[in-house]
Structure 1
Amino acid sequence: MRSTDATVPPATAAIVLQLLAGATPTPLPRHRHDLSRDDVRETQRARVVATAIELFADHGYSQTNVQDITKGAGVSRKTFYELYANKEDVFLDAYQAVGVLIGEAGLGVDDTDDLSLTPETMIEYAQRLLLVMAFAPAATRMFFLEALGAGPRVRLRRNQAIDEFVTTTAPALRDFRTRYEPDLPTLTIEQCHVAVAACIELITQYLADHEAATLALLAPRLVDAVRAIVIPNYHSE
Structure 2
Amino acid sequence: MPESATQLPRGRHGLPRETVIAAQRDRILLAMAEAMTENGYVGTPVAAVIKRAGVSRETFYEQFRSKEDCFEAAFERAVELMLTGIFAATGAEFDGETQSQRLERVLGSYLDALAAEPAYARLFLVEVYAVGAEAIARRTQLQETFVAMVADVLDADTEAQFFACQTLVAALSSMVTARIAVGDLAGLRALREPLLDLIRRSGELFGSARLAD
- Measured against the shorter chain, the TM-score band is 0.7 to 0.9
The separation in 1 between residues aligned to 2:199 and 2:67, in whole angstroms, is 35
In structure 1, the residue matched to 2:108 is 127
In structure 2, the residue matched to 1:18 is 3
Q: Indicate whether 1:166 and 2:147 are aligned.
A: yes
> In 1, are the aligned partners of 2:28 and 2:49 still within 8 Å (CA)?
yes
Higher relative contact order (CA 8 A, sep 6+): 1
In structure 1, the residue matched to 2:74 is 94
Change (3 A) 1:210 1:142: same
Q: How many residues align?
A: 208
In structure 1, the residue matched to 2:27 is 47
The separation in 1 between residues aligned to 2:109 and 2:149, in whole angstroms, is 18
> In 1, are the aligned partners of 2:7 and 2:23 still within 8 Å (CA)?
no
Alignment deviations for residues 83-136 of structure 1 (CA, whole Å, 9 cap, x no partner): 11222222222232233334444x139956966772343233322321222122
Task: In structure 2, list runs of 5 or more residues that go unmatched.
Answer: none
In structure 2, the residue matched to 1:13 is none
The separation in 2 between residues aligned to 1:226 and 1:148, in whole angstroms, is 29
In structure 2, the residue matched to 1:3 is none
Change (3 A) 1:78 1:161: same
Q: Quick one: percent identity of the two aligned structures?
A: 28
SS at match of 1:18: coil
Q: Indicate whether 1:138 and 2:126 are aligned.
A: no
**Structure 1 length-normalised TM:** 0.71
Task: In structure 1, list runs of 5 or more residues that go unmatched.
Answer: 1-15, 179-184
Alignment deviations for residues 172-226 of structure 1 (CA, whole Å, 9 cap, x no partner): 33x2x56xxxxxx455544332222111012123334552255211112333555
Q: Indicate whether 1:108 and 2:87 are aligned.
A: yes
CA RMSD of aligned residues (A): 3.4
Q: 1:150 aligns with which of 131, 147, 152?
A: 131
> In 2, are the aligned partners of 1:103 and 1:110 still within 8 Å (CA)?
no
